[in-house]
Structure 1
Amino acid sequence: MPSSTDSPALRGRRRERETLDRLLRDVRAGHSRVLVLRGEAGAGKSALLDYLSEKASAGRVTRAAGVEPESEIAYSALQQLCAPLLGHLDALPQPQRAALATAFGLSAGDPPEGLLIGLAVLGLLAEAASERPLVCIVDDVQWMDRMSEVILTFVARRLDEESVGLVFACRSPGDEQILGSLPELRVDGLPAADARALLDSVLSGPVDDQVRQRILAETRGNPLALLELPRGLTPAQLAFGFGGQAATPLLNRMEEGFQRRIAALPANTRRLLLAAAVEPVGDVTLLWRALDRLRVGPDAVAPAEAAGLVEFGARVRFRHPLVRSAAWRSAEAAELREVHRALAEATDPHHDPDRRAWHRAHAALGPDEEVAGELERSAGRALARGGRSAAASFLERAAELTPDPKSRAARALGAARARLEAGELNQVPDLLAAAESGPLEPLQQAGVDRLRAQVTFAFNPGRAAGPPLLAAARRLEELDFCTARMTYLSAVGAAVRAGRLGGGDLRRAAEAARGVPAGDEPAGLFLTGLTAWSLDGYAPAVPHLRRALEKMTTDENLHLLWLAGPVAHEVWDDVAWYRLTEQAVCFARTTGALSLLPTALTFRAGALVFAGRFADASNLLDEADALGQATGMAPHPSASLTLAAHRGRELPAMELIDATIKDAEARGEGRLLGLAGYARAVLSNGLGQYPAALEAARQATEYEDLAVFNWTLGELVEAAVRVGDADVAAEARERLAQRVGAAGTEWALGVGALADALAGPSGQAEERYREAIERLTPSQLTLQLARARLLYGEWLRRENRRADARTQLRAAHGAFATMGAEAFAERASRKLLATGETVRKRTVGVPVELTPQEAQIARLAVAGRTNPEIGAALFLSPRTVEWHLRKVFTKLDIGSRRELAAALRDH
């Protein structure tokens, strides 16, 4: 058999082969590389993958392919790719080992989170590559199951120095969102000369040159089209190109060509091809068991192989995926059901019950409770493995096959719930409509209302979400108290996010929720506190909100982080804020909690901004963005806005603020408008544009947005003082004082003292500045402390106390320059120059010698974390952690971890 290098499909593919050769060289040199081949069907992607596989054969190669009939089976492609590597499973940390074993059905366990499975796959690939370079090839990604796609996208973004090549092939156009943002190589049509030579190699006789040019134009250099479309056509038939097919899409014409060739085969050979197309993994033993039930013997293979459509070996391999789809789509419905029935009978119900159920479902002619029950059990197993999308597909098909209307409605409702949990929101409304077409118990109908409201909240968490959540909560109140309380909390939370755009939604939700006994656990206390905050004012709410934060001591409560974060700011509890955000990130990374991690990363980034750790915050936000691209869950913009405003780069910050305002107005999310106003006020105060800061802060404080109002009052006091508007400054200071007195924390009292120093009696200014600095110094609020020193230094300079001013301004400038607050650093620099001091240029941000990731790894190593523990925390393989640590040691000129702590301090 000729090598793939000599294949006609690789004619004219020099650029593509060189790209793959470079990838292999990098992998053999110890680096990891990722590449996505994109091109239309027949462009030669599979041939290029064959070329890569052959060239990489000196190392280790593992392959998988998406199969259209298999696209609803959770982890099917991932398991196919990882199966040859499972000998390394024992080398993984126990949580990762258990997650992967559960996902693949190798053992029972709690449903694993997708990110933990992703980390396990990353570790598995790294372990396998530690022996010899590893190349992983995944073809037909457009038909890969959703969980495999999410996990492999995650792994692709985390590969670094593991000697792993991960190469995908994906059909385009139409699937560009799959594996988005990964490095890609477009596989287009062949150059004209190569396309002509390939066409000439398959023409059966002389063809007029104008006809040849027309064929070349129609095929656009597609190698498979050039090879297949002329096949079997006489010169007379080719006289007008491809006849009347020119208006038919090229993909359809190629598939129709394969269908014509299949139709010319003997009946048993066609049945064999259909069975092979429906059986997803090419299992020859299983296929022959099914063919025996179809009364198809081995003699049916020869015509298919002679036609160049399929190869039978250790696995069944179609010449091209279009051959599989042609065989599948050309079958009559009755024939397809017969093949599914034979495959179901041939599948071991103990070894592979889910595929057996799937085949039985497709073999069913009408409603069948036995098959529906089997599918429901398969859904339960899929959920146990963390495959929510697969569970939804099983339940959806089960509902279609359920004869009893009541059971059918219940299964449709279960499918809708699974789709929601899988993030496949667009499919939920139709399933809810299907559930409502049958008889529902009151609790089930309330569940339908709640799911519909949750979908609304997911699509539009602003004004549109609150009323349906409130209606669902009222319906649930007499049916399921615990669910009703959580739904009321969601309704209040939605109204809080709607803010100034919500009309009276917040008051209506709070009044309805007030009659619900709340209890003494965090959710109940948050509900009580927010109800009081909405109806009674700030001071009565503080004890309940603080108590709720104190009660959030276990990981089980971290699903409330979306509320706990803003509440911690509302009551100025920086200790709870730092504790909860660190706990949430640690828990989400350890368990792979996909639903929690983007929120945890965003809130932790916000905490790090206030701590002055801008580089670390930026790293977390980049990670949250990457997760959002992989999962479709966009992170909340709060931390990004706060970071951009304090960095002080005017143009990018204003672009982000303007985009946020536009998005907030479109979504009815008024709290984002307040947040954007706060960000603009911070940016303008940093740049010394005080009239702009005053206007932004005044608009933002027209509504008392949770947490944001507190932050913005401080900006309003500063801006009003700077423009000389004493009345506005006094009013803002008074409103702030009322909240500071009720909160009573060191953070609150420090902020209050700073406002008093700015806008209070002039004779008390220095005492209040000193008090603010004293209260803020013990905290992690490095950014707030630097701003207090800046304001105190500016006051001292105005008092003509230059030496004292230099002390404060020097400390402020150093802090701002180190953290990367460029506008505030420049403002401090100008004031220092005015005192007569020469200001040295400082390196902004993390020292250039260490990248942010290297610095993060180094800090974790100093804290005593092992390489696997650091890898689990940062979603890196231990091998990549080791590689980064070696670079850190070289840069710091040290030889071991024992020297790392001192070297970092000196650095």
Structure 2
Amino acid sequence: MQLIGGMVLHRGAIAEMAPAAVARASLVRVAHAAEDARSLARAVSVLGPDASLRLAARLAGLEPADALLAADALSDGGVLMSKRPLSFVHPLVKSAISLDTPVGERAQLHRHAAQLLSEEGADPVQVGAHLLACEPAADPEVVQLLRRAAREAIARGVPESAVGFLRRALDEPVALAARAELLGELGRSELVARDPAAIEHLGEAIELTDDAQQRLALTCSLAEVLSFAGRLREAHALMSRAIEELGDPDDALLVRLETARAHTGWGWSDPEHAARERLPRLQALAKRTGPAGRELLIYVGLKLMVAGETPQEGVALVRRGLDDGRFIEDETSDAVGAVQAVAILAFHDELAEAERHIEHMLDDARRRGSVMGYAGGLGWRAFSALRRGSIPSAEADAGRALDLIEEHELHFAAPFALEFLVEALLERGQLEDCEAALARVPLEPFAGTLPGAYLLEARSRLLLAQGRPHDAIADLRQAGEILQAIGIENPNVKAWRSTLALALPAAASESHKLIEAELDRAQQARQARGLGVALRAKGLLTGGEAGISLLQDASRTLAECPSRLEQARTLTELGAALRRANRRADAREPLRQAVELAQRCGATVLAHRALDELKATGARPRSLLRSGIDALTPTERRISAMAAQGLSNPEIAQALFLARKTVENHLSNAYQKLDIQSRDQLPRVLSDAAA
């Protein structure tokens, strides 16, 4: 029992008291206590939970023996628990004492606590937390301690905390040179945290910095922020001006600047023309600068890949740039080159290799708390899933990536995730959801750029599904103009010509010209998927027995690549063509395969169409069933798979940037649909479904 303000109470009764009563009772007791006890109570309230008696005594200015007696008195009075380390009997007691401590005194106690903790080598973040509660006092040591706390926060993957520490450090009056350093560190931390204030702070740091090397490093960071804000032209002009002003730099510096300029110029026409002319020089620079040139090497590989003339050489350069994963390890998943590299591997249909590096990116992003790296990894994992033919997984990843991109204003990345999401939703027949998704990302800020082309293609797909070919044709023409201006000619990257050709009226001579152009480029690129898609389109345009032969060629070609979805589409068209030619018996086998493949892909619309065609041949297949794992939403499927691998709910929540309750709800829904009672049954059920 405890005596509080003249009342005898059981400890459990404190929790049942009204907050005001608890506060009044504790304050009365502390007010009547000896000065040593009052000082110790205030010290403990400042130090927070689990304060050691030794440190609390030092903060209160007490000798150890006096502090021990004061602690016993506070325990007897029902203010502190009787155990060690020191803690209050209830959070409300701590709050009451904190509020009763004068603001100035409390700030001084926090400053003293920070000093004591720093002297004892305590956690820099803990030290920084105390300094946040102090008033500015032109103290250089405070600035250094806050910078140390910020570095530790970045290392732990909590960039938001680093931003808070550095903004507090800026409140201290410092010399211009020190302020420039602080602003640079703050801007870079805001870059990781995806805080748009990074633009202002990096710009100010550049203005205040006299050191040429530091100015260039800050300029590169500012260009990166502007790029992700969708302000590509500003970023590119900034980097071009920096290179021109530099004159004749050494290779180590030049490779950094050229890499940054390449990234800001990628995706819109004017700088891309100039970059194509500089490509041999950039490749030579990247190769002779070793690890420093890896990201530029990836960019050169990207250019070669998308041009379609020597894609294999481009992929070889990308692999060299990735350096067996060391590039992501050294430069982190935030590096633009990391996203470019996994995209190129996926475009080349090296899906297993791409997915291995994507998982490396996601692991790195989770460890550092990087939303940018995590959203990028999710988006391109969605693309790889689409290429592989795993529609539910693609929908889940693309949807989550788009949510994070919107939440953290990663504007430049939004169109890519959006197109992947729209493609997945269309395969599942969710046209209204597609329309809602497209409304989330406006086209105007991306006009004339690669992200704009992705948006136009996504919208054209929806328009075609809605039976609005005229509008879709206009979007496809515009997207094609952008892609050609940028230099993207490889059909395995973008097959817009065949999509446009099939959308045009049947008698249009332009359709055949478009198909022949795409087929020529696909044959030059020598990539099975691009060639198979072009052959399929030509077969559909040609019709008759010649068209059937082309569709058979397309099916054989696509069998050489991992894209089950494209194979399912081709088998459906082949079976339909055979049925129209009155070769019903021949049509049944490709249509049976198409139904099976489409179902395995989760391509609902295609599966139903293939089934209808199969029924039209006179076959009597079973109807498509939606049960078990097929009834799971994409997010339920992803969370169930992670739970089956042994991850706990908190681990899943952290990995997917979701609330723990959200994970619990998804798992509960999954259990009902799978007719199981616990996560222990998930591995068997999911394994059986995969088999």
Q: TM-score range by the shorter chain?
A: 0.7 to 0.9
Structure 1 residue 674, shift from structure 2 partner: 2.4
Partner of 1:614: 391
The answer to whether structure 1 residue 783 and structure 2 residue 546 are counterparts is: no
Q: Does 1:527 align with 2:527?
A: no
Residue 7 of structure 1, aligned match among 11, 16, 26: 16
CA distance in 1, matches of 2:134, 2:638: 55
- Separation of aligned partners in 2, 1:494 and 1:677: 21
Unmatched tracts of structure 2, length 5 or more? 1-8, 288-292
Change (3 A) 1:477 1:788: farther
Pairing partner for 2:552 from 744, 767, 770: 770
SS of 2:202's partner is helix
Could you tell me which residue of structure 2 aligns to residue 651 of structure 1? 432
Does the 8 Å contact 2:378/2:397 carry over to 1? yes
Q: Secondary structure at the match of 1:352?
A: coil
Instruction: Give the SS at the match of 2:482.
Output: coil
Q: State whether residues 360 and 371 of structure 1, in contact with CA within 8 Å, keep that contact through their aligned partners in structure 2.
A: yes
Is the alpha carbon distance of 1:846 and 1:728 closer, same or farther for their aligned partners in structure 2, counting shifts above 3 Å? farther
How far residue 866 of structure 1 moved from its aligned partner, in angstroms, is: 7.3
CA distance in 2, matches of 1:890, 1:614: 23
Shift of residue 478, structure 1, vs aligned partner: 5.2
Q: Kindly tell me: are residues 467 and 307 of structure 1, through their superposed partners in 2, closer, same or farther at Cα, counting changes over 3 Å?
A: farther
Q: Post-superposition, which runs of at least 4 consecutive aligned residues in structure 1 deviate over 6 A?
A: 258-273, 293-308, 360-365, 625-635, 849-861, 868-874, 882-892, 895-902
Determine if the alignment matches structure 1 residue 416 to structure 2 residue 187. yes
Greater mean alpha carbon deviation, residues 771-780 or residues 264-273: 264-273
Shift of 1:599: 2.0
Count matched residues: 638
Contact conserved, 2:395 with 2:420, CA < 8 A, in 1?
A: no
Q: For residues 488-527 of structure 1, what are the structure 2 equivalents within 5 Å?
A: 488-497=258-267, 499=268, 504-507=270-273, 516=282, 517-520=284-287, 522-527=294-299
Post-superposition offset of 1:774: 0.3
SS at match of 1:283: coil
**Alignment-derived partner of residue 595 in structure 2:** 813
Cα 1:842–1:447 change in 2 (3 A) is same
Higher deviation after alignment, 318-327 or 579-588: 318-327
| Partner in structure 2 of residue 824 of structure 1 | 606
In structure 2, the CA distance between the partners of 1:618 and 1:801, relative to structure 1 (3 Å rule), is same
Q: Structure 1 residues 901, 294: closer, same or farther in 2, change over 3 A?
A: closer
Question: Kindly tell me: are residues 293 and 668 of structure 1, through their superposed partners in 2, closer, same or farther at Cα, counting changes over 3 Å?
Answer: farther
Deviation at 1:621, TM superposition (A): 4.1
- Aligned partner of 1:135 in structure 2 is none
Q: Provide the C-alpha distance between the structure 1 equivalents of 2:183 and 2:260, rounded to a whole number of angstroms.
A: 24
Indicate how the Cα distance of structure 1 residues 763 and 885 shifts in structure 2: closer, same or farther if over 3 A, else same.
Answer: closer
Work out which of the residue numbers 109, 113, 121 in structure 2 matches 1:343.
113
What letter corresponds to residue 442 of structure 1 in structure 2?
A
Is the alpha carbon distance of 1:621 and 1:477 closer, same or farther for their aligned partners in structure 2, counting shifts above 3 Å?
farther
Is the Cα contact below 8 Å between 1:273 and 1:327 reproduced in 2? no
With the length of structure 2 as denominator, give the TM-score of the two structures: 0.74
- Partner deviation per Cα, 1:310-336 (whole Å, 9 max, x = no partner): 6575314552676466446x423xx45
Task: After TM superposition, list the pairs within 5 Å mapping 1:103-252 onto structure 2.
Answer: none
Q: Are residue 442 (structure 1) and residue 212 (structure 2) matched?
A: yes
- 1: distance between equivalents of 2:254 and 2:327? 17
Corresponding residue number in structure 1 for 2:344: 567
Distance change >3 Å, CA 848–CA 750, structure 1 → 2: closer
Quickly say closer, same or farther: Cα 1:263–1:416, change in 2 above 3 A.
Answer: farther
Provide the rounded CA distance (Å) in 2 between the counterparts of 1:579 and 1:710: 20
Is 1:715 aligned to 2:499, yes or no? yes
Shift in Å at residue 773 of structure 1?
A: 0.4
Q: Where do 1:287-306 residues align within 5 Å?
A: 287-292=56-61
**Given residue 648 of structure 1, which amino acid in structure 2 is its aligned partner?**
G
Shift of 1:701: 2.0
Corresponding residue for residue 799 of structure 1: 581
For 1:542 and 1:580, locate their aligned partners in 2 and report how far apart those are by CA, in whole Å: 16
C-alpha displacement at 1:515, in angstroms? 5.1
Change (3 A) 1:846 1:539: same
Give the aligned partner of residue 19 of structure 1.
none
CA contact (8 A) 2:544 2:581 kept: no
Which residue of the other structure, out of 523, 538, 550, is the alignment partner of 2:307? 538
Q: Displacement, 1:782?
A: 0.8
Q: Does the Cα contact within 8 Å between 1:806 and 1:835 map onto a contact in 2?
A: yes
- The equivalent residue for 1:68 is none
**Which residue of structure 1 aligns with residue 450 of structure 2?**
671
Give the structure with the higher percent helix.
Answer: 2
Superimposed CA distance per residue, residues 267-315 of structure 1 (whole angstroms, 9 cap, x where no aligned partner): 999876764554343626222321126999879999999999x657531
2:381 is aligned, of 604, 613, 616, to 604
| Aligned-residue offset at 1:366 | 4.7
Q: Deviations over 1:493-550 (max 9, x none)?
A: 44444x4xxx6344356667775444246533333355678xxx93556354232344
Structure 1 residue 703 displacement after superposition: 2.0
Matched with 1:62 is: none
Using the alignment, how far apart are the partners of 1:479 and 1:262 within structure 2?
68
Q: How much does 1:477 deviate? A: 8.0
Bigger relative contact order (CA 8 A; separation at least 6): 1
User: 8 Å contact 1:586–1:873 — kept in the other structure?
Assistant: no
Pair 762,836 (structure 1): closer, same or farther in 2 beyond 3 Å: closer
C-alpha separation between the residues in 2 aligned to 1:447 and 1:615?
Answer: 42
CA offsets 1:43-74 (integer angstroms, 9 cap, x no match): xxxx7xxxxxxxxxxxxxxxxxxxxxxxxxxx
Instruction: Please give the TM-score of this superposition, normalised by the length of structure 1.
Output: 0.58
The partner residue of 1:740 within 522, 526, 538 is 522
1:824-870 CA distances to partner (integer Å, 9 max, x unpaired)? Answer: 33433444454444554202587458887897799899xxx974799
Q: Is the 8 A contact 1:318 1:324 kept in 2?
A: no
Counterpart for residue 229 of structure 2? 459
